[in-house]
A and B are shown apart, each in its own frame.
Chain A
Amino acid sequence: MKIIRAALLASSVVLLPHGAQAQQMDAEVLHWWTSGGESAAVKVFADEFNNEGGNWIDTAIAGGQAARNAGVNRIVGGNPPTVMQFNTGGQFVELVSNGLLRDLESVAGENDWRSVLPAALADAASRDGKFYAVPVNIHGQNWLFTNLKVLADAGVEQPQSFAELIAAGPKLREAGVIPLGHGGQNWQDNILFDAVLLEEGGPGLMKAIYGDVDTEAARGAEFRKAAEVFAQLRALVDEGSPGRNWNEATNMVLTGKAAAQVMGDWAKGEFIAAGLTAGTDYGCTIMPGGYMMGGDVFVFPKVDDAAAAAAQDKMAALMLSPGVQVAFNEKKGSVPARLDVDVSSMDACAQAGMEALQNAEAQVPSNNFYSPDLVGSVRDVITEYWNSPAMTPDDFVENFVSAMESAY
C-alpha cells in the first residue's frame, strides 16, 4: 500500500503544473524504509522538513537493493532524486569518485559534524576530507538478544560471550528450547561470524581482514580460533534454520522457542511490536570486542538549480539536528549518529549501546564499511563453511584467503 501511495504521490507531482505551484523547497527523497517501524521513522524527517517550509516528496522503494539500483540508475542517467539513502560505508564511493554527489562541507562545518560524530562514522561518510553523506543512525550489529524467562527457567545467566553461550547450550537443550535462533541466510551467517571474529581478534583483526585485506591476519591464530568457535555454534541451532528470515528467528526468541539470537538492533523493533520491555522481558548484550557499527546515510546528488541545492542543505542540517536524531532513532531502533545527545528517553538497550559508543576504541566499523565485492566473496565462503560440517577450519581459512585474494 505504501508503495502504491508513494507511486500515486510521485505521479501526482509529475502531473501538477510545474512552476506556478512548485514550491521553492521541493525535495524528492528516495529510500527503502517501507516496513511499519521504518516508515514511522522516516516520517519524522518528512514532518520536520515540511514544518520548516519544505515539500517532502516521498519515493519509497521496498528492498535496499532495489532502491539502490533505481537510485544509482537515475543518478547516472542524469535525473537524480534530491536526496537518496545508502548504507553507511562503501556503497556510494564510486558515485563520489565520478563526481556525481555534492560535497556537504559547508553544512558540515556550520554544524560541526566532525566533533559530534564518531570518527569511524565521519570517515565513512567522507572522501578526501570532505563530507559526502549524512549518517543518520548507528545500528549495532553484534547484539545478543535473549528471552529472559526462557533463560531463568533453564537456570542460565545472560551469556556475556560466545564461550558462555556455547556452555549454556546443553542446559537449554535439556529445557527443551533451541539455544540459538538463527536465520541461515548468507548475510546472517556473516553477521554471526563477524561477531565471533570481533570477540576473538578485536577491532584490529576486523580492520586487518576487511579493511587492509591482510591475508597473513587470516592465516593467524586468532582467525583460526574464531573459525573454531564459529563451528561450535552450529550445535546450537535447529534444523529448520537454513533460509529463515531474521525476523522469524527473532520471533522464535520472543515466543520462547529459542533462547537467544545474534542480530543487529533492528531486531528490537520486533520485541517492541510484541509489547516486550528491554531488561525485564528480553535481554540484550553487546558481544565482547566492541560495538560493531552499521547504519544508514543520505547522499545528495549534484543538482543544477539553486532551489534544489538549498533544499539539500536544509535537509542535511535537519537530519543531524539533535532533536530530530533522538525522535528518529527511537522509532528506528538504532542509536543516534551523534554522540552528544541526551538518550535518557530511549530504551535500556539503546542506552547501553550509546554508553559503549562513548569509548572511541569500541567504535568498530562493520563490514558494511568496506568493499562490497570483498565482503560478498568472503560471505560465500562463510556461509559454505557454516553449512558444511565436514569442512575443517583449515579448509575454511584457505578458502577465505583465496576469496580475499580474488576480490578487490
Chain B
Amino acid sequence: MSSVTDAAPVPPARKRRRLPYAAAIALAPTTLIVLVVYVGCMLWTVRLSFTSSRLLPKLDWVGFSQYERLVSSSRFLVSVENIAIFGVLYIAGCLVLGFLMAVFIDQKVRNEAVFRTIFLYPYSMSFVVTGLVWQWIFNPTLGLQNAVHKLGFGWFKFDWVVDRNMVVYAIVLAAIWQGAGLVMAILLAGLRGIDEDLWKAARVDGIPPWRMYLSVILPLLGPMIVTAVVLLATGVARLYDLVVAMSGGGPGIASEVPAKFVMDHLFERANIGLATSAATLMLITVAIILAPWMYARYIRDGGRR
C-alpha cells in the first residue's frame, strides 16, 4: 500500500509539469494581453484618477480630490440614479417580454420563422439607429403625438423624450424594444431543449399550462436566464450610444449616464482625472455586484467547475 501511495504522486507531478509547458506557450499571448491590456489599463485608469491630468496624462498625486468633485457634481449623481433605474427596468423588462415572446413562438405558431425574425430584428440594429428612430417617435413636433394631433385629438400627449421626468423611461422602452429579442432567442433555445415527456406528464396530471411554465419550465431555464442577465447587464454598464442618439443626455441633464460622463470629460472637456475617477467608481460598482457571484462560482467551490 505504502509503495503505491509513494509512487502515485510522481506521474501526476511529471504530467503537471509537462502540460502547463505546452499550454503556457499557447496561452502566453492571451495571458499577456489580459495582463497588459485589461489589467494594466485598469490599474493605469485607477492611478490616473488620483492625478490632476487634463488633456494629457500626468503622474502627480492629488489624493481623493477628483472623487470629492465627482460626488458633489449633480450631473454625476443624476447619472448614477439614471443608470440604476435603467438597469433594473431594462433587465426586468427584457426578461419578461423576451420570455413571453419565446413562449408565444413555442406554441408551434404558423410561420414561426417570420415571427422569430420580426422579434429578433431590432437586435440587429445599432443603438444609434434605435435611438434616432425612438427619438422621432417620441418627439412631440415630429412623431406620434403630432400625428395623433393631426387626426384631431389635441389632448393626446406622447412627449417623453422632451419631458425631464419621463426621458429615462423613454430610453428604457427603446432599449427593451431592442434587447428583448435576444432574450427570446436564448430562452426559445432553452424551451426547445425541454423534454416532451414533461409536457405529457403535466397533461396527464391536468396541470394548467401557465402553472407548468411558472413552476417547472422557468426553473429548468435557470442557466439560460443567467446567461441572458449577464448579457443584458453588460449592456447596462456600457449604456452610452443610445442616450447620445436619443436625448443627448437632455433635456438639461435629465438623462445623463455614467459612461457619457466619462466620455465627455475624457475628451471634450479635457479632464482625464475626473473622467478616470468616474470610470473607477463604475468599475468598483460592477465589481461589488459581481463579487458574490464570483465568490459562489469560483471560490466557495474550491475553484471547481
Q: Within 8 Å CB of A347, what residues of B?
A: none
- Assess the A239–B162 pair: CB atoms within 8 A: yes
Among listed A54-62, A125-133, A284-292, A372-380, interface-contacting one: A372-380
Judged by a CB distance under 8 angstroms, whether B116 is at the interface is no
Judged by a CB distance under 8 angstroms, whether A76 is at the interface is yes
Among listed B199-207, B261-269, B280-288, interface-contacting one: B261-269
Across the interface, A243 reaches (CB within 8 A) one of B69, B248, B267, B274, namely B248
| Given A185-B248, A240-B140: A387 in contact with B56 (beta carbons within 8 A) | no
Judged by a CB distance under 8 angstroms, whether B222 is at the interface is no
Q: Within 8 Å CB of A69, what residues of B?
A: 267
Q: Within 8 Å CB of A321, what residues of B?
A: none
Across the interface, A387 reaches (CB within 8 A) one of B164, B246, B271, namely B164
Q: Within 8 Å CB of B139, what residues of A?
A: 240, 243
- Assess the B252–A94 pair: CB atoms within 8 A: no
- Assess the B270–A406 pair: CB atoms within 8 A: no
Among listed B9-17, B72-80, B180-188, B292-300, interface-contacting one: B72-80
Distance, CA A185 to CA B142, complexed state (A): 17
Judged by a CB distance under 8 angstroms, whether A325 is at the interface is no
- Assess the B250–A372 pair: CB atoms within 8 A: no
Q: Within 8 Å CB of A242, what residues of B?
A: 161-162, 247, 250-252
Please give the number of chain B residues whose Cβ is less than 8 angstroms from any Cβ of chain A in the complex.
35
Min Cβ gap A187→B in Å is: 10
Distance, CA A402 to CA B268, complexed state (A): 21
Judged by a CB distance under 8 angstroms, whether A65 is at the interface is yes
Q: Within 8 Å CB of B69, what residues of A?
A: 406
Min Cβ gap B278→A in Å is: 13
Distance, CA A124 to CA B264, complexed state (A): 23
Binary CB contact string for chain B from 146 to 166 against chain A (1 if under 8 A, 0 otherwise) = 000000000000010110100
- Assess the A376–B56 pair: CB atoms within 8 A: no
Across the interface, A384 reaches (CB within 8 A) one of B72, B252, B269, B270, namely B252
Judged by a CB distance under 8 angstroms, whether A161 is at the interface is no
Distance, CA A187 to CA B214, complexed state (A): 51
| A-contacting residues, B232-289, CB 8 Å | 246-254, 264-265, 267-271, 274
Across the interface, B74 reaches (CB within 8 A) one of A76, A243, A399, namely A399
- Assess the B72–A184 pair: CB atoms within 8 A: no
Distance, CA A274 to CA B54, complexed state (A): 42
| B-contacting residues, A367-392, CB 8 Å | 372-373, 375-377, 380, 383-388
Q: Within 8 Å CB of A388, what residues of B?
A: 164, 252
Min Cβ gap B168→A in Å is: 14
- Assess the B251–A94 pair: CB atoms within 8 A: no
Distance, CA A69 to CA B248, complexed state (A): 19
Distance, CA A2 to CA B72, complexed state (A): 43
Judged by a CB distance under 8 angstroms, whether A186 is at the interface is yes
- Assess the A243–B269 pair: CB atoms within 8 A: no
Closest to A94 in B: B55
Judged by a CB distance under 8 angstroms, whether A95 is at the interface is yes
Judged by a CB distance under 8 angstroms, whether A98 is at the interface is yes
Distance, CA A240 to CA B157, complexed state (A): 12
Judged by a CB distance under 8 angstroms, whether A247 is at the interface is no
Judged by a CB distance under 8 angstroms, whether A224 is at the interface is no
Min Cβ gap A75→B in Å is: 10
| Given A184-B250, A242-B161, A384-B253: A406 in contact with B72 (beta carbons within 8 A) | yes
Q: Within 8 Å CB of B140, what residues of A?
A: 239-240
Binary CB contact string for chain A from 397 to 408 against chain B (1 if under 8 A, 0 otherwise) = 001001000101
A-B contact pairs, 27 of them (CB 8 A): A65-B267, A68-B267, A72-B55, A93-B55, A184-B250, A239-B140, A239-B159, A240-B140, A240-B141, A240-B142, A242-B251, A243-B139, A243-B162, A243-B246, A243-B247, A243-B250, A372-B269, A372-B270, A373-B265, A373-B274, A380-B73, A383-B252, A384-B252, A384-B253, A387-B164, A387-B250, A387-B252
Known: A383-B253, A385-B252. 18 other contacts (CB 8 A): A72-B55, A91-B55, A94-B54, A94-B55, A94-B270, A186-B250, A239-B159, A240-B159, A242-B161, A243-B135, A372-B268, A372-B271, A375-B269, A376-B265, A380-B75, A383-B252, A387-B250, A387-B252
Interface residues of A (CB under 8 A from B): 65, 68-69, 72, 76, 91, 93-95, 98, 184-186, 238-243, 372-373, 375-377, 380, 383-388, 399, 402, 406, 408
Enumerate the 3 nearest inter-chain pairs by beta-carbon distance, A residue then B residue, closest first: A387-B252, A240-B141, A376-B269
